[in-house]
Amino acid sequence: MLLDNPLMSDVCAAFTSASIIFALLQLWKETAKHGVDQKLNRKLVHISIGLVFMLCWPLFSSGRRGAILASLTPGVNIFRMLILGLGIWKDEATVKSMSRFGDHRELLKGPLYYALTVTLACAIYWRTSPIAIAAICNLCAGDGFADIVGRRFGSWKIPYNRDKSIAGSISMALAGFLASLLFMHYFASFGYVRESWEMAFGFLVISLASALVESLPISTKLDDNLTVTVTSLLVGSLVF
């Protein structure tokens, strides 16, 4: 049978996960076309893509081959962000769903960093590493909810950065931490990691550190997708 062949099984898993992500991207393109607030739509893309992709990881085999084939899906998106951001390929609906102001050049920053993060977390750390969980959960759930909550309830600004709010930073730490716990449980159910209070505490430390760095003026000047990722990886390498 086809699925008795480990390589073909991984190829089928890659096709399945890519199809799921493509369908999700098409959904957000349609919502962008039909009047959903551009900032909200962009963050719904931001939150959902990486987390849904991580849900697909158990489809793949263990070991390096499974990790590399899984990383092809976000890896293709790196190429996609480059050709869209450089204006080589025109797709206004995609640009609108992923950018703040509808400028295709924006895709060369945050969206490109996002695709790079998910690809590298998958290819290098994979599903047996809590660092991969922390990096993707804080980038997707943490940073995504920080923006949504901050815009709605962000009247109380952070003194050292008036572009950020207390509510946004708190929601980032909570969302990143809770998402990390959920994926710890999810991957533990397959035997990839072992649930423990120590791992949970490590996730808390990483989420707090990521929220702190995201609140700093340097994150505004650079890009949250970059600073949150670097923080998650650096702190994760210390606590795990």
Question: Is the model's pLDDT at 47 over the cut of 50?
Answer: yes
Are 67 and 45 part of one and the same domain? yes
- Boundaries of domain holding 180: 128-240
| Token representation of residue 19 | 């199809």
Residue 116's closest CA among 148, 82, 163, 93?
82
Is 16 or 87 the better-scoring residue by pLDDT? 16
Question: Is the model's pLDDT at 170 over the cut of 90?
Answer: yes
Are 155 and 171 part of one and the same domain? yes
Are 197 and 78 part of one and the same domain? no
Q: Output the pTM of the full model.
A: 0.89
Q: Which of 82, 97, 125 lies at the terminal end of a domain, its last residue?
A: 125
Max avg pLDDT among 8-22, 101-115, 146-160: 8-22
Are 150 and 62 part of one and the same domain? no
* Confidence at residue 1, expressed as pLDDT on a 0 to 100 scale: 41
Beta partners for residue 165, in sequence order: 157
pLDDT-based confidence at residue 62 (cuts at 50, 70, 90): confident
Q: What ranges in the chain are assigned the alpha helix state H?
A: 6-33, 38-55, 64-85, 92-98, 110-120, 130-137, 143-153, 166-188, 197-215, 217-221, 224-239
